[in-house]
Amino acid sequence: MSVPRLVIAAPASGSGKTTVTAGLMAAFAERGLDVSPHKVGPDYIDPGYHALAISSAASSAGRARTARPGRNLDAFLCGPERIAPLFLHGAAGCDLALVEGVMGLFDGAAGQGELASTAQVAKVLRAPVVLVVDASSQSRSVAALVHGFASWDPGVRVAGVILNKVGSDRHEAMLREALQGCGVPVFGALRRARAVRAPSRHLGLVPVAERHAEAVDSVAALAARVREGCDLDGLLALARSAPPLSGPVWDPAEEIRRAAEPVPGAGDRAAPRARPVVAVAGGAAFTFSYAEHTELLTAAGARVVPFDPLRDERLPEGTGGLVIGGGFPEVYAPELSANEPLRAAVAGLAASGAPIAAECAGLLYLARSLDGEPMCGVLAAEARMSERLTLGYREAVAVSDTALAAAGTRVRGHEFHRTAIEPGAGPEPAWGVVRPERRTEGFAQGDVHASYLHVHWASVPGVAARFVGRCAPWAG
């Protein structure tokens, strides 16, 4: 399949990958191109800015278009073998796919070589790499830096540079002169600009859902900077030079079909009596989710209905299962607590035995309290903000049978939070973490599965089939 594509990488975190990538997406969308956004690694926040950049730019240009969802490409969570199929699924039919990297170009899972690095994804996708370089504190040395990155791994095609945080015309001229003999062309130079910086807090950028109007303005400013400072025609030609990708395209229906071995309580998926309603938490407090989760739930036979725990006082009509993903409930604890009718509805659903899958933010929401504010009280646990950031990949095995996973199911996931919950595991834990340390984690309580661990269901599609099957008694 022929998909024009670029990977936007950097020598290190903080170089400006997200702002440059979002600006490029907006600028190309303004031109009328159908842009497919992707992000290397597990991060949930950057894909939100990608999707906003594309949709708002297309709208401002008078082209009504529903933006493609931002999709993650994480070789640790999903396996290197799924990167190209997931990419081809998300990018099918697009005019241009842009893949934002993670950390520095060659940084990946700790102690595991190139696994989960931007470089590995670029090689799997056979995609040209454009290196975003923070040039704010260098001039001629930029040539040595770019030469080193371009020659480090012959399998990675570093095909261009965008100079970011350039101080002046003279500074830009010095940088371009230094790079002339490097063999890597310069596709743009962007000046320092405070107006387009996205605000950050304890887990990185503030999600788009919490600052939509400001984010739209920032994206418009980014698009203007990129139009003025980058060679868009040259970048598009470079993207079109990427060779065709062969191999299968990820298909949620096919994944569910393969994973649909009979499991206890799964019901008859061949002839379901009705489609169970699976309510999925969203809104400003619960912004972390992977697009493939909803696709897998739908393919497994569910009718997925979003709701906002900050605004909605009832669960969606006919709810037979509940998925509460990640986000920032700690920022909205008073507002979530004040919505007593919904907290009672969630507690009642859990008491009825209906399946509930909660991860990270969902775990906190199901606790008795969060920073002293009453939550749903499904779990006998208290949650609070912590000074310690917990961040990293994990390997785990399901300890108990729940609606989400049968005991013994092995998964790869990641943790990303600055909160703590006491106790850290229930009498029946959800997971036994086996790497990087050994411990039990989370809560398996009836058909409630609650944990800090984020898992990408594309790597274990059977969990979606199992979950929807366990919702069958509540269908209709």
Q: Where are the domains of the chain?
A: 5-240, 252-474
Reported as a pLDDT band with limits 50, 70 and 90, residue 263 is very low
Task: For residue 230, indicate whether it is catalytic.
Answer: no
> C-alpha angle 216/217/220, rounded to 5°?
85
Q: How many Cβ atoms from other residues are within 10 Å of residue 348's Cβ?
A: 13
The whole-number pLDDT of residue 300 equals 96
State the sign of the Cα–Cα–Cα–Cα dihedral 236, 241, 242, 243. Answer: positive
**Percent of the chain scoring above 90 in pLDDT:** 80
Residue 46 has a pLDDT of 86
The CA-based diameter of the chain, rounded to the nearest angstrom, is: 71
Planar angle of CA 142, 105, 115, nearest 5 degrees = 155
Beta bridge partners of residue 450, listed in sequence order: 358, 443
- The residue annotated as part of the active site, out of 78, 182, 230, 360, is 360
Among 165-169, 188-192, 225-229, 260-264, the range scoring the smallest mean pLDDT is 260-264
Residues paired with residue 8 on neighbouring β-strands, in sequence order? 100, 130
Query: Is 70 exceeded by the pLDDT of residue 202?
Result: no
State mean pLDDT over 443-465.
96
Q: What is the mean pLDDT of residues 440-462?
A: 96
Task: Determine the average pLDDT of the residues in 10-35.
Answer: 94
Q: Which fold has domain 252-474?
A: Rossmann fold (3.40.50)
CATH top-level class for 5-240?
Answer: alpha beta
Same fold, 5-240 and 252-474: yes
The percent of residues in the chain predicted with pLDDT above 70, rounded, is 91
